[in-house]
Structure 1
């Protein structure tokens, strides 16, 4: 925990000194966060500055050192009680079930953390109504750069207290207030202290019940936030009434890299309004317009400025009710976004008969790593176009074509893609009406050493595969040495007895060092196979979860 450092005295002598506060602050890293994005997003981990050693401090009087040591022990006990560890410049109490008493202990901790740069107390209900006790101490942690208060049940008083306290932390770079409904209608109270020159880089306001007036205020504030890189306004449907103001403000945020407007009630008109801002967002890396069901038809007039997003890496348009004319317009735009790495067009069922040209031109996106087009009602011609284009996507890591029935009996069209996909990590073929010949083909590809990097394979809801097909597959799945998750579950309405292939699967699992979960819902194990699984569970040295028929 501690680190001894040298310090030269006034007499020129060098003596080892240890700062008790810094001794407390140093420790092992916090546990990895659950969500991860390639870009700087809502769930991004602390940056390299968390790893840095605290600067040297002047020697403390003995009495003060003893007081600090006592406080350190109390604080260490507090963190241990919550299952957390002290980390240099970072206090992460996310989802710890903090009580009112815990809140008091945490407030008492703040005076001993003058170099704190990150504070995360998200998903703790008892924060609501008590935030003022923390904000009153904000002047003691004036170096704070990251403040996360997501889903804390903040009250109107909390929101007002926070707005006043933000003036005390001029170094703030990231603010997350997501899933706090009282933020809605009170956004000016929180952000009114942000002035031109603010260092804020990330603002996350997901599902905050923002009003149209909040959106208008934000649009007027955006020109002041020249360092802003991430803006997430997802699941705030009322801001569509002030989208003109927001779009006008976005024109002044030239450094913006992530814009998320997921499920914001966007309409056809909204696309045209946003298009006027796209030409000013040359640094944008991620654009999320997903789950806006009224957006369909908005791309029909070819949003010319979308093509200006030359650096765009992620485009999410899933569940947007895209029309055939939308697809035609996007065919002229998407293939020109040469830096695109992730494309999600899922749950746009009208694509099935109109996306042949768009899918065939995906070959011009050499950097594409994730392609998700599940539940798009693809037809044989569009699937053929996709298969021919996918051969050219050598960087592909995630390929999801689930819930497209035309894949069944036609997996052979993807044979060359599966053979050449050296980077593929996730393959999802759920509910594709696969037949025995399809899994036999897949087994053959695996046996010959292809798909070596595969980590997740989803073959669920393909009930037409016979036991012989599952046997061939299970005999060869052992060659997928990096496989972590496998799902072969049946449909909710179907139950079947496991065949002899289950023994091959158990054997394969012993050869898969990374596997942690096998989905087998609705498969019923006979008594003899139940015994085999129980013996396997007792003998195994790793934690592997079999989710199967015994739970039905």
Structure 2
């Protein structure tokens, strides 16, 4: 997985120095030497682990890591720490220190450590997406006893070392109030999970545990199965993108039977197989509170639902079901047809990228009308056929969808009128994705007519990209009417990567429409070529309308 890193700016007004000092000066007086006694009782000792060279370097610059001894020293240190936070573009909050994606250096980590004695009431510490934290975390964990009220600890994508994760395992004993722990995207967690969570005790307050893409081993999975019965308060468990834990799913499922408070279970891309459906189904009857289930991107799962008489049927409170890219078979669809309509609380359903269900899902899609709470329906790249699309169009008339994705289903082209008839009654649709649907000129003309009559008034995102068969006349009709969508923020009419075309006269209509769309920010027009005259039109538009509207034209410009 990738993360787009954005540099935080410290421009703008800053808080008065006194307000920052007062916030922390009051909180620092609340707690006497109780922290020292907690340190002793938990046995947190620096000598437990041999520091690496980077950690030793960090230790050498921690000249302000101990609690201040005088008000003058406190004030001086507050001033330095305020400057530190301003440099990172962050504000001081007494119970929250959020340094997520701040490009922290080794020296910055040392300053974070220096802050800890001033934050005895800190409840949230987030230093995720800072690569250079790796190798220096021990300097933080050695002082966890100073923030014993911590409830949220996020260390995602910090390139933690083996020494870091082992030290963290010892330090967790010093923060008994912890409710959320995120160690995602740290590969060294894999193989070391028992060392990290060894201090978790019966009655643990942890409610959220996220271990996404941590390179967990089958042994880690088995350990997790043993740990889950201890975590009675667990509500969110995310083990996604750990492809080796599928073989230990039986142990995990056994543990899940003891987590009756679990509300979210994510096993996206975990190497699950056909047998996994039956193994999980045995645990589902114990998860009465489960609201969100993600089994997506487990390509070997296909065929597993047909072996279970009523998979998922016991999840009466389920609100989100994600079976995206699970290689569902025709028999799977038959089995799910009996169950999904019974999930009356379902709000989001994702069946995308299951191409084998295209010709066998007519009954399933027609029964979606029995899901009154359904708000999001994702069916992109499902190889839908005319009969299944007709059944879907008829069922959608009974739904109050907010998100509807039919992209990459070629059968929509030339048949969009079936869906538009149903959408006439829609007053809630906010996102409509019809990318690469082989739409023709008549389709966009009918869509324009529907828009003109005031329907789809709440639409915020409209994706019509990769529909190269629409002629200039069709785009002209569409652009002349798109201004009726006053809530629209994003429009995409890009061409396929293999295509390049000159913009027609409709581009002028589009610019005119944009001036009447108060919320529009992004217009995708990749591979449309603007001749010199139209480039000049666009320049004049930007000069006259300084609203920061981004036209993404991409390559092939003259």
Say yes or no: TM over 0.5: yes
1:462 and 1:490 in contact (8 A); partners too:
yes
Q: 1:471 aligns with which of 472, 476, 481?
A: 476
Structure 2 counterpart of 1:511 = 516
Q: 1:535 aligns with which of 537, 540, 547?
A: 540
Cα deviation, residue 467, structure 1: 0.7
Q: CA, structure 1 residues 524+105, in 2 after alignment: closer, same or farther (shift >3 Å)?
A: same
1:276 and 1:305 in contact (8 A); partners too:
no
Q: 1:108 aligns with which of 111, 114, 137?
A: 114
RMSD of the alignment, in Å?
A: 1.8
Cα deviation, residue 66, structure 1: 3.2
Secondary structure at the counterpart of residue 208 of structure 1: coil
Residue 123 of structure 1 pairs with residue 134 of structure 2? no
Structure 1 counterpart of 2:499 = 494
1:422 and 1:450 in contact (8 A); partners too:
yes
Secondary structure at the counterpart of residue 304 of structure 1: coil
Structure 2 counterpart of 1:97 = 103
The correspondence of residues 88-487 of structure 1 with structure 2, limited to 5 A, is 88-394=94-400, 396-487=401-492
- Distance, in Å, in 2 between the alignment partners of 1:544 and 1:399 is 25
| Further displaced range: 400-409 or 533-542 | 533-542
Q: Deviations over 1:128-151 (max 9, x none)?
A: 111100001100000000000001
| Further displaced range: 330-339 or 62-71 | 62-71
Structure 1 counterpart of 2:553 = 548
2:24 and 2:94 in contact (8 A); partners too:
no
Cα deviation, residue 301, structure 1: 2.2
1:272 and 1:303 in contact (8 A); partners too:
no
2:24 and 2:118 in contact (8 A); partners too:
no
- Distance, in Å, in 2 between the alignment partners of 1:342 and 1:4 is 48
Q: CA, structure 1 residues 102+456, in 2 after alignment: closer, same or farther (shift >3 Å)?
A: same
1:197 and 1:224 in contact (8 A); partners too:
yes
1:402 and 1:430 in contact (8 A); partners too:
yes
Structure 2 counterpart of 1:28 = none
Cα deviation, residue 418, structure 1: 1.8
Q: 2:89 aligns with which of 79, 83, 94?
A: 83
Structure 2 counterpart of 1:21 = 25
Cα deviation, residue 302, structure 1: 3.2
Secondary structure at the counterpart of residue 115 of structure 1: coil
Q: CA, structure 1 residues 337+548, in 2 after alignment: closer, same or farther (shift >3 Å)?
A: same
Residue ranges of structure 2 left out of the alignment (5+ in a row)? 1-14, 29-67
2:362 and 2:388 in contact (8 A); partners too:
yes
- Distance, in Å, in 1 between the alignment partners of 2:247 and 2:220 is 10
Q: 1:64 aligns with which of 56, 70, 76?
A: 70
Cα deviation, residue 4, structure 1: 11
Cα deviation, residue 237, structure 1: 1.0
1:409 and 1:434 in contact (8 A); partners too:
yes
TM (normalized to structure 2)?
0.88
Cα deviation, residue 70, structure 1: 2.0
- Distance, in Å, in 2 between the alignment partners of 1:237 and 1:191 is 20
Secondary structure at the counterpart of residue 431 of structure 1: coil
Residue ranges of structure 1 left out of the alignment (5+ in a row)? 6-16, 25-61
Structure 1 counterpart of 2:526 = 521
Structure 1 counterpart of 2:49 = none
- Distance, in Å, in 2 between the alignment partners of 1:183 and 1:255 is 25
Cα deviation, residue 118, structure 1: 0.4
- Distance, in Å, in 1 between the alignment partners of 2:103 and 2:357 is 45
Secondary structure at the counterpart of residue 306 of structure 2: coil
Secondary structure at the counterpart of residue 507 of structure 1: helix
- Distance, in Å, in 1 between the alignment partners of 2:210 and 2:435 is 33
The correspondence of residues 8-47 of structure 1 with structure 2, limited to 5 A, is 20-21=24-25
Secondary structure at the counterpart of residue 371 of structure 1: strand
- Distance, in Å, in 1 between the alignment partners of 2:23 and 2:260 is 43
Secondary structure at the counterpart of residue 83 of structure 1: coil
Cα deviation, residue 231, structure 1: 0.4
Cα deviation, residue 63, structure 1: 8.5
1:142 and 1:169 in contact (8 A); partners too:
yes
2:27 and 2:119 in contact (8 A); partners too:
no
2:305 and 2:311 in contact (8 A); partners too:
no
- Distance, in Å, in 2 between the alignment partners of 1:417 and 1:170 is 54
- Distance, in Å, in 1 between the alignment partners of 2:231 and 2:69 is 45
Structure 1 counterpart of 2:45 = none
2:272 and 2:300 in contact (8 A); partners too:
yes
Cα deviation, residue 87, structure 1: 2.2
1:20 and 1:68 in contact (8 A); partners too:
no
| Further displaced range: 161-170 or 302-311 | 302-311
Q: Deviations over 1:100-129 (max 9, x none)?
A: 111111110111011110000011111111
TM (normalized to structure 1)?
0.89
Structure 2 counterpart of 1:34 = none
Cα deviation, residue 537, structure 1: 1.5
Q: CA, structure 1 residues 256+480, in 2 after alignment: closer, same or farther (shift >3 Å)?
A: same
Cα deviation, residue 23, structure 1: 9.1
1:20 and 1:69 in contact (8 A); partners too:
no
Q: Deviations over 1:195-215 (max 9, x none)?
A: 111000010001111011111
How many pairs were matched up?
503
2:396 and 2:423 in contact (8 A); partners too:
no
Q: CA, structure 1 residues 253+447, in 2 after alignment: closer, same or farther (shift >3 Å)?
A: same
| Further displaced range: 530-539 or 169-178 | 530-539
Secondary structure at the counterpart of residue 312 of structure 2: helix
1:524 and 1:549 in contact (8 A); partners too:
no
